[in-house]
Amino acid sequence: MTNNEPKNSDSIKAAIEVLRKDYVNNWPEKRNHLETLFENLERDPKDTTIIGEFRMSFHRLAGSGGSYGLPEVTIAAREAELLIVRFLDGDKDISPETIKKIQNYIQSLDTIFTKAAMEINP
């Protein structure tokens, strides 16, 4: 049984790396979705459907980042989600300052994923 442990461990590590690579390589599609939402939010900052979609997108990223070895994704996405939740829970309009913060979170996430992609796709 001891002889199989390193082999099993290596195959588990390899499988995790494949999953991580897929996760990172799917970022452009997720980024495009966030950028489209952002453009729509700029046009209509009172549209709660768009704001809700942002919340769910950031929520998914926050929940998945750490699972794929990218805790920075979890941190940035969670901060963005909490920013949006404050507006969904209240009657406040999304201010131009908040819209800029959302854009900054998208850019931060892009930086994190770009760095990860360069590490796994040399």
Band (pLDDT 50/70/90 cuts) for residue 3 is low
Show the tokens assigned to 55: 């919340």
Give me the pLDDT at residue 1, please. Answer: 45
Give me the pLDDT at residue 86, please. Answer: 85
CATH class of 4-120: mainly alpha
| CA distances, 21 to each of 1, 42, 97 (Å) | 30, 32, 34
| CA distances, 11 to each of 64, 116, 120 (Å) | 22, 21, 17
CA distance 85 to 59: 10
CA distance 113 to 85: 24
pLDDT tens track for 28-82: 999 999 999 999 999 998 888 999 999 999 999 999 999 999 999 999 999 999 9
pLDDT tens track for 40-53: 999 998 888 999 99
CA distance 118 to 91: 42
